Chains A and B, each alone.
Chain A
């Protein structure tokens, strides 16, 4: 059976990485620490259900990623979903385009990029943050979130497209 010491060692070895991932996902460092702590408690409570053939650290990572998705989904509003659907519609319109210079200028401001990331749907943000900002492979994100690989790739495409649309809009 998985011992508390083994699990605690895993939690501590991944705490920094997962806190940074959660902070990018939630745009809130304090909440990111809470998410990792809550995940640690969930893992410690559920350690008797851990299957010995699985990797302990990957198991903890999965708990953490899903706790993060849960928190992000709770925060997400109906308006956020409607805005995402509107942006997807734009990208299906052959007449839609943007001024790439306006996007390049917006990218010079870290605040604009953070704001755009915060406007993505939780699953788009998960895909973009983990893949493009943290360097995970799409397959790894799928394995650690429990979402199918094609779904992760779709969130990644829509998330990147949404960032372009958001950054091309005039600053508010």
Chain B
């Protein structure tokens, strides 16, 4: 199991919110957050901000098509 620094775990936590981490990295973030005295609170706060932005997005009227470049 890879050991992550706080800075690495905090950056990866953002990708974790988007479901973009490999299982191995997800486990590494979980393990770090479980044993860290400072990161769990930051992760909970990131999650709260993420949920609020998501809630606001769903409140908006349905989006028009935007296509792709």
- Residues of A near any B CB (own CB < 8 A): 13-14, 16-17, 20, 54-55, 57-59, 61-62, 91-100, 103-104, 107, 113, 128, 132-136, 138, 140, 143-144, 153, 156-157, 160-161, 163-164, 167-168
Q: Are A132 and B53 in contact (CB under 8 A)?
A: yes
Bound form: Cα–Cα A133–B54 in Å: 7
Selected contact of A107 from candidates B14, B49, B57, CB within 8 Å: B49
Q: Does residue B3 face the partner (Cβ distance < 8 Å to A)?
A: no
Asked whether, in the complex, the Cβ of A132 is within 8 Å of the Cβ of B45, the reply is no
Provide the residues of chain A in CB contact with B34, threshold 8 Å: none
Which residues of B in the span 32-69 have a Cβ within 8 Å of any Cβ on A?
A: 37-39, 41-42, 44-46, 48-50, 52-54, 56-57, 60, 63-69
Q: Can you list 9 A-B contacts with CB-CB less than 8 angstroms, sorted by A residue number? A: A13-B65, A58-B69, A91-B10, A103-B48, A107-B49, A132-B53, A135-B57, A157-B11, A164-B45
Q: Main secondary structure on chain B at its contact with chain A?
A: helix
CB distance from A166 to the nearest CB of B (A): 10
Of all chain B residues, the one with the shortest Cβ separation from A113 is: B52
A-B CB contacts (within 8 Å), total count? 101
* Partner among B38, B44, B63 whose Cβ is within 8 Å of the Cβ of A95: B38
- Total count of chain B residues near the partner, CB < 8 A: 33
Evaluate contact between B10 and A134: CB separation under 8 angstroms.
no
Q: Is the interface of A mostly helix, strand, loop or mixed?
A: helix
- Verify A134–B7 contact, CB threshold 8 A: no
- Contact call A161/B14, Cβ cutoff below 8 A: yes
B7 touches A135 (CB 8 A): no
Q: A57-B67, A96-B42, A160-B49 are in contact. List 16 more A-B contacts (CB 8 A).
A: A13-B64, A14-B66, A17-B64, A61-B67, A62-B69, A97-B39, A98-B42, A100-B41, A100-B44, A128-B53, A132-B50, A132-B53, A134-B57, A140-B66, A163-B49, A164-B42
Given the contacts A91-B10, A161-B10, A164-B49, A97 and B42 also touching, CB distance less than 8 Å: yes
- B15 lies within 8 A of A153 (CB): yes
Contacts of A164 in B (CB 8 A): 42, 45-46, 49
The answer on a CB contact under 8 Å between A55 and B41 is no
CB proximity of B63 to chain A, nearest CB, Å = 6
